[in-house]
Amino acid sequence: MTELRKITFAPVDLEALAAASGRIAVFITADGKMSPGARRLNRLTRGAVARAVESESWEKMKEAQVLSLAWPSGVAAEAVDLVRLERRADASLARKAGAALARAAGKSGLTILAESQRGIAEVALGLALRGYGFDARKSEKAEALGDAVLCCTKPEEAEAAAAPLMAVAEGVVFTRDLVNEPANVLDTVEFADRLLALKALGVEVEVLEEAQMEELGMGALLAVGRGSESPSKMVIMRWNGGVEGVAPLALIGKGVVFDTGGISLKPSAGMETMTMDMGGAGVVAGVMRALALRHAKANVVGLVGLVENMPDSKAMRPGDVVTSMKGDTIEVNNTDAEGRMVLCDVMWYTQEHIKPAAMIDLATLTGACIVALGHDHAAVYSNDDGLCGQFLKAAEAEQEGAWRMPMGQAYADLLKSPVADVRNSGGRPAGSITATEFLRRFVQDGMPWIHVDIAGVAHVPRDLVLSTKGATGWGVMSLNRLIAENYESE
């Protein structure tokens, strides 16, 4: 797994500033009010800090942005980074400030004069997440990230506050690595092996093979993987950190390690991005890692269906009729509408064998979701206003865009089949909604459920505040917060 930047917390030592290597960062308010550390840096640099804060460049800066002074005289550091941030900034701005420092620092080490700044742990989270880069498949590895030391008035308290956030960062990075991996590396076997490694953290992991799923009647999931040499699998991860006997929250992820579209072949342009079609499973895996690392006092089960959708003489064809684990028959009118067929069997298994308190599925399910919401929001659907409200609140707090979408019988009617109980695709109109209506058939009465279509947010074409172009790890932080606020015991 990609290693995070090493971040430590230490008491403030102003006498050591002159000799500090790498870069030195300090927080300054918009009106230029300087902390003791900033005043010391100003004296050491012969007034360079004050001149910068009085400059037009500083006036034009927004909150949480950085103004860098390269190779200032009076200190050994290669740069002094001035961070425009109010002393009592909220968590979102503190994370942005940490991310801005990560961008400014690159690979260099950092001495950060946090002093009595509020939200030091959140600064550390932003610094950790924005420093991520994926180079596992490059022959020349990038230079290792330099360490960061946050110098503050109460380092023990800051370190304790940062510990659970760093656990979440580890989960986000685990997800990003999985989503960024090419499909010839992360096939279904390798994916399952990486999830089995979570046993070392105390997660119970079980892998169901094709023969076991055949016995369970999971005909929809198995139909998707028939054209691939990679065996289909279902992985069940259990974190039992809560009160014994309390029903768990179930997280369900689509894990299509590569999606060609099958016989309904996708256009070649852009197909290389379909290595990310296991993004839902990646998010579930990241959440399970985060929960284990922070020893969450909750019962959570993560289930992922791992398949590859390839064209082959054994592949499912348009017009085939397959039988789901529920017993519903499905007319396959589009083999590229495969993710919902994976999810429906995993969802039914979850309800029959896990008996969860609620379930949330995540999937890079439809291109229609991207047409509707772009790369800024995931599409959220639910049959339970309370659960949905809790999730949307968590997503808003974590600054992960999520937007609730409609459902209804008119959309479900588009899935009617003349030869089977249901078709797997309702065509182009309202494609994300009809996919959700397909899944709703496999939600039992009384089961609180959320479906999250993350097609637009799992892997993005531009840099974001906390991530670079590519895999984002979207959803790990929101789900972790949902669990912390609603499913953990005292």
How does pLDDT run across 235-285, given as a tens digit for each residue? 999 999 999 999 999 999 999 999 999 999 999 999 999 999 999 999 999
Q: How confident is the model over 373-395, as pLDDT tens digits?
A: 999 999 999 999 999 999 999 99
The structure tokens listed for 29 are: 């308010």
**What average pLDDT does this structure show over 402-426?**
98
Q: Do 7-153 and 170-486 come out as alike in CATH topology? A: no
Residue 141's pLDDT is 79
Length of the chain: 490
Please give the CATH topology (third level) of the domain spanning 170-486: Aminopeptidase (3.40.630)
Domain boundaries, given as residue ranges, for the chain: 7-153, 170-486
Residue 142's pLDDT is 79
Q: How confident is the model over 34-45, as pLDDT tens digits?
A: 999 999 999 999
Residue of 172, 160, 152, 30 lying closest to 89 (CA atoms): 30
Residue 284's pLDDT is 99
Is the confidence at residue 125, as pLDDT, over 90? yes
Indicate which residues carry an active-site annotation. 266, 340
The structure tokens listed for 206 are: 């079980």
**Class assignment of domain 7-153?**
alpha beta
Residue of 352, 356, 359 lying closest to 248 (CA atoms): 356
**What average pLDDT does this structure show over 140-159?**
94
- Average pLDDT for the chain: 97
Residue 363's pLDDT is 98
Q: How many CA atoms lie within 13 A of 189 on its CB side?
A: 6
Cα separation, 185 vs 277, in Å, equals 14
Is the confidence at residue 342, as pLDDT, over 80? yes
Residue of 383, 124, 172 lying closest to 282 (CA atoms): 172
Which residues, including other chains, have CB under 8 Å from residue 485's CB and lie 6 or more apart? 390, 394
Residue 143's pLDDT is 87
**What average pLDDT does this structure show over 150-178?**
98
Q: How confident is the model over 280-325, as pLDDT tens digits?
A: 999 999 999 999 999 999 999 999 999 999 999 999 999 999 999 9
Percent of the chain with pLDDT strictly greater than 70? 100
Q: What is the model's pTM?
A: 0.97
Q: How many CA atoms lie within 13 A of 21 on its CB side?
A: 5
Is the confidence at residue 490, as pLDDT, over 80? no
Q: Max Cα separation, the chain?
A: 82
**Confidence label for 140 from pLDDT (cuts 50, 70 and 90):** confident
